[in-house]
Copies of this chain bind each other. A is one copy, B any other.
Amino acid sequence: MENYNKLVEHYKTIANYNHLSAICGWDAAAMMPSGGNQARSEAMAQLSLHIHQLSTAPHLSDLINQAQDENLSAPEHASLREMKRQWQLSTVVPEDLVKAKSLAGSKCEHAWRTQRGANDWSGFCNNFEEVVNLSQQEAQIRGEVAGLTPYDAMLDIYEPGVNSEQLNSIFGDLTSWLPELTQQVQDKQKQESVHTSNESYSTSAQNALGLEVMSLLNFDFEHGRLDISSHPFCGGVPEDVRITTRYDEQDFVQSLMGIVHETGHARYEQGLPRQWAGLPAGQARSMGIHESQSLFFEMQLGRSDPFIANLAPLARQHFKGNDPSVFEANNLKKIYTRVQPGYIRVDADELTYPAHVILRYEIERDLMNGKISYKDIPELWDNKMQQYLGLSTKDNYKDGCMQDIHWTDAQRNQSHNYKNGCMQDIHWCDGSFGYFPSYTLGAMYAAQQMATIKKLMNVDEIIQSGDLTPIFDWLDTNIWKKASLFTTDDLMTQATGEALNPLHFRKHLEERYLK
């Protein structure tokens, strides 16, 4: 075990540096005054370089090869498998290409900040062309080494084991019934009246309510905290998880469910097995599984009838001066299940969200595989928006294909990002093609997990009781404590009796929105 033990020590060293990077990254988003930005960026770049050097250290290759022949237990074998995976992901792309891509990405993102507002697609393309070009090179190289198509090789960074053949089938199925379902639900909801209010909801009351809801979700405040940042995320380390939200005094709705969402990410991190702390096998399984936990909390629990019934009196209590009829359970439910196709992915509801993901998937897949040019994106975007959501984005780049260039909620899985050693932000501008499918995969995994739990216990009664521990115990045993010790397919099969089955998602949506 000499070689394996050396690897363990090495990866724990990397984890220590990732810890510092995660905390300073959180600080930059939640605490740092603007004047600290330049010095911080330089310090973080130095640290990233150091982590990159450790992650790609040439002697790791020999250690990994020699450790294969050592007398390892089954979990140690899984651990070694994940080390090998990380080493390969980190080393396969030549340094020069990594640097060029990072530079092109920064340049593109910086210009995008003003170009989006100006709806300036052609200006944007001046930089974006290079990003696409370098990303295609990366995808090509990764694909050749892994024996995959270029796009599947990119996908494999975020969602190991998933390929576009699968996605084509799953997403193809979705697009065959989702537009119609959306229409049906919209028709149904047209007859309902939702009571909203123009009142102001103080930040401090929203914060107090958020903290109480986190407690209801058993967030471990000994190992984490809630703060404010302009883009909500879940950062920090499993021993000290930092989630953030932003408060809009005109609207308590978004922040509240945002906190529930981030609490799902946080509890996954907090629940990861400590005996594998710092090792690749002890980290979250994939972006999709991470998203499955946040969406389990937000969609499966947070928007359920009994949860909203519990939320209602809490909201009434914290927003004492506000119109109480808004927080009446039935009205709150209508607010939280309102379906309305729109242009912007991050503002989308549960039902229309997959359309945003699928159109991005179809575009980035063909782009990475060289079947389309970046110039084709606006027209494809418009066509697909019309097909899936009945909206046109013709000539409207800023609410169309230029919306998702920016840093979104991706930093949430920071530790997971570093795990792969090859990225920090997730967006096309940085050339992070292949990430988007994780969102909808997550929604499907979550529905499937809930379907299994519902066979084992009376979920509604448990949520109603206010003590959700039995549900969390199931997640803890079947998802959190498994970390990356199994492939995603094995993880899901052990937990639910089958690999990903999108039927559960469809049933969940029909149950919630047509009932």
Contact = CB atoms under 8 A, between A and B. Distances in A.
Contact of A33 (B35, B39, B222): B222
B16 A240 contact: no
A273 interface: no
Interface string A2-18: 00000000000100110
A345 interface: no
A17 B46 contact: yes
Interface stretch (A20-28, A247-255, A457-465, A505-513): A20-28
Interface residues of A, number: 36
Contacts of A39: 19, 237-240, 277
B239 A34 contact: no
Contact of A35 (B21, B44, B240): B240
Contacts of A236: 36
A38 interface: yes
Contacts of A221: 33
A42 B16 contact: yes
Contacts of A349: none
Tally of this chain's copies: 2
A38 B239 contact: yes
A300 B50 CA distance: 45
A27 B242 CA distance: 12
Interface in A218-249: 220-225, 236-240
A306 B136 CA distance: 68
A43 B16 contact: yes
A31 interface: yes
Name the residue among A27, A43, A47 with the largest chain B CB count within 10 angstroms: A43
A111 B221 CA distance: 27
A20 B19 contact: no
B36 A237 contact: yes
A32 interface: yes
B222 A35 contact: yes
21 contacts: A16-B47, A17-B43, A17-B46, A19-B43, A20-B20, A20-B43, A27-B27, A31-B31, A32-B240, A34-B222, A35-B220, A35-B222, A35-B223, A35-B240, A36-B223, A36-B239, A38-B239, A39-B237, A39-B238, A39-B240, A39-B277
Interface of A: 13, 16-17, 19-21, 23-24, 27, 31-36, 38-40, 42-44, 46-47, 50, 220-225, 236-240, 277
